[in-house]
Structure 1
Amino acid sequence: MSQKNEFGITHLRHVDLAVPDYDTQRTFYKDTWGLTEVGTDSGLSYLATEGSPEQYVVRLRKAADKRLDLIAFGAESATAVDALATRLASQGIQLVSQPGKLQTAGGGYGFRFFDVDGRTIEISSDVATRQHRAIEEGEAIPVRISHAVMNSNDINKTREFYETYLGFKLTDSLWSQHMGEMMHFMRCNDWHHSLALAQGPHTSVHHVSFEMRGLDEYMRGTGRVMRAGIKKVWGPGRHKAGNNTFSYFLDPSGNTMEYTTELERLETDQWHPSVYDIADPMTQDQWGTADPMSELIAKESFNDKDRGIFVAPPV
């Protein structure tokens, strides 16, 4: 299997969010969503999944403004980190920090930069792993972070940035007769996507997805979150692109979070991207159990305009 990223990017590590309602969010992610708080620092909460060696998958920061702080991707070595930083800087990409020892939980070696839309991206290697375990049958908590989807008002420009500068590959796209290309699924390893780009009115978080152990655990988790009174945006259903299940909910800050399972893994490098028409009901939901995708549902995932564009988070 040679789905290797040409610049040594290995996987999605974590998504960091700044939230005004910090305490409410901490409670939601721990008690309702099923993450484990592995540490806190002044106004910071680090949340891990029990099934993954990743130090943490979500970081919450107490802040006046809601924003995406950063998206972090792993790299195979410190050498790869240095090479990528040098390459980006030489091509005029604005670095937020030079490669060095990370001060966040788990340490490691990395740097940060702004992507074409102004999101802060971190690339890191040598982050300490955490004790993790196999999730048991019937245990309806996330195994790992699956993917992050970001809104962009020009998804082809954003796609080109990730292909050119970070070596992501296009797996599949969603398309609409009236709107053109609506979503690009991008990969940095053999998972169908670790990152996806959604056409939206502004730069913001579309959703963050968490992989469950299996169908039963996915449904039990979906039910638990529904019973907790959390607003369900869409699902349960099964997408065509990626063949994964979906249940989308709004967290207390209005960020969309997804439970998924059985996301496709690509068997071969000879992958030919498909373009799926969103007008086909099977594209959105192969099962037919979710409500049809509507403008109302779509608007929920536009989210608020991100207030962190081209502003690096303080930590």
Structure 2
Amino acid sequence: MNPPATKYLITHLRHVDIAMPELDTQLAFYRDLWGLTEVASDSGIHFLAAEGSPEQYVVRLRKDPMKRLDLVSFGAATPADVDLLSSQLVRDGVRLVHEPRVLDTAGGGYGVRFFDIDGRVVEVSADVAVRAHRVIEERESIPVRLSHVVLNSPSPEATVAWYGRHLQFRLSDTLHLPGRGDFMWFLRCNPQHHSVAIARGPHVALHHISFEMRGIDEYLRGTGRMLRNDIEKIWGPGRHKAGDNTFSYFLDKAGNTVEYTTELENVDEDTWHPSVMHMSDPAVTDQWGTANPVNEFVAAKSFNDPDKGLFVAPPV
């Protein structure tokens, strides 16, 4: 008899919440240029949805004197799974922000919040109301959904181990920098190659937030719209080897890196074996050879500013 399949409690990435002093220009960027839809606002907090996604929102913007990552939110299948995860976290000594409870936010739901090993706030929720969404049309260059989030850590091996132990994330692939060792770890919570990646950086910070487009044409049209509006490009357009996805990276108005992507690989979890990809091979960073070289400028922008909100829960 085969052993029972492992039950994974995390199902998917829901939303990424960021705070910044310059809220008005940040809101205008995500709503009017990047292509998200404002669905709710309350006392200086704005909720932005992707038109093709059933999630109530994929980005939350909050005005704050400090620039920070407020939280990263993941889905669970049921409230019972949220309770089970919470009990496991408490058993293992993970510090909760709050115990499982009804969430007072767009879409409601039932969730728990806690700090990860680096001091970020993580939320896991279930029973969030599904948003009415639609099929993104051909040539419509707006995000279909949130794709993934990448986080910087000065001790990435420990961070990767923490996400594996406590949230059951599985390693898909690793990037290796010659002379500097392993550099980025791609972690999945479902068949998508990665919903989270952990990058080696000089401090804890947000590396980038990635948004899935309908296809190659829509991805390039969105990239072109950013360029025509003089949004600072960091890297791209190109196509990574890890995940086999396209990439164009830009800076939002608070200096966070955001990405348009498409065609992120799905893996067979029963047969997939992680590999180490060496960045000395130019095809690893960009299979097409169309992107600007990875240099100190790209690295510095990706490091972002040190997160000022570590081990401090956002007010909402």
TM-score range, shorter chain: over 0.9
**Cα displacement (A) at 1:279:** 1.4
Aligned equivalent of 2:308: 307
CA deviation map 1:226-246 (0-9, x unaligned): 111110000000000000000
Determine the structure 2 residue equivalent to 1:114: 115
1:204 is aligned to 2:217: no
**What is the CA distance between 1:6 and its match in structure 2?**
3.5
Is residue 269 from structure 1 mapped to residue 270 from structure 2 by the alignment? yes
Deviation string for 1:56-86 (max 9, x for gaps)? 0000000000000000000010000000001
CA displacement 1:111-145 (0-9 Å, x = unmatched): 10000000000000000011100000000000000
SS of structure 1 residue aligned to 2:303: coil
Q: Distance in 2 between matches of 1:144 and 1:265?
A: 15
Paired AA for residue 51 in structure 2? E
- Identity percentage of aligned residues: 60
Query: Could you give the per-residue CA deviations for residues 21-66 of structure 1, whole angstroms, max 9, x where no partner exists?
Result: 0000000000100000000000100000000000000000000000
**Contiguous gaps of at least 5 residues in structure 2:** none
| Structure 1 residue 267: Cα displacement | 2.6
- 1:130 aligned residue: 131
Q: Which amino acid aligns with 1:54?
A: E
Rounded Cα–Cα distance in structure 2 between residues aligned with 1:114 and 1:140 = 35
Shift of 1:292: 1.4
Runs of 4+ aligned residues of structure 1 deviating over 2 Å after TM superposition are 4-7
Task: Tell me, in whole angstroms, the C-alpha distance in 2 between the residues paired with 1:50 and 1:312.
Answer: 29
Instruction: Work out the CA distance in 2 between the residues paired with 1:198 and 1:253.
Output: 20
The corresponding residue for 1:244 is 245
Q: How does 1:249-260 map to 2 (within 5 A)?
A: 249-260=250-261
User: What residue is the counterpart of 1:191 in the other structure?
Assistant: 192
Q: Distance in 2 between matches of 1:279 and 1:303?
A: 24
Contact conserved, 1:7 with 1:84, CA < 8 A, in 2?
no
Which residue in 2 is equivalent to 1:46? 47
- Residue 5 to residue 230, structure 1, CA distance change in 2 (3 Å): farther
The separation in 2 between residues aligned to 1:135 and 1:192, in whole angstroms, is 22
Could you tell me which residue of structure 1 aligns to residue 99 of structure 2? 98
Corresponding position of 1:74: 75
Match of 2:33 in 1: 32
Contact kept in structure 2, 1:15 and 1:57, CA below 8 Å: yes
- Contact 1:7–1:80 (Cα < 8 Å) also in 2: no
SS in 1 for 2:222: helix
> How many angstroms does 1:14 deviate by?
0.2
Opposite residue 44 of structure 1, the aligned amino acid is I
* Structure 1 residue identity aligned to 2:72: I
> Equivalent residue for 1:176?
177
How far apart, CA to CA, are the structure 2 residues paired with 1:20 and 1:61? 8
Paired letter, 1:235 = G
Post-superposition shift, 1:177? 1.9
| Structure 1: runs of 5+ lacking an equivalent | none
Q: Contact conserved, 1:14 with 1:71, CA < 8 A, in 2? A: yes
Letter in 1 for 2:119: G
Tell whether 2:224 aligns with 1:223: yes
Distance 1:159 1:266 in 2: 19
- Alignment correspondent of 1:282: 283
What RMSD in Å do the two structures reach over aligned CA positions?
Answer: 0.9
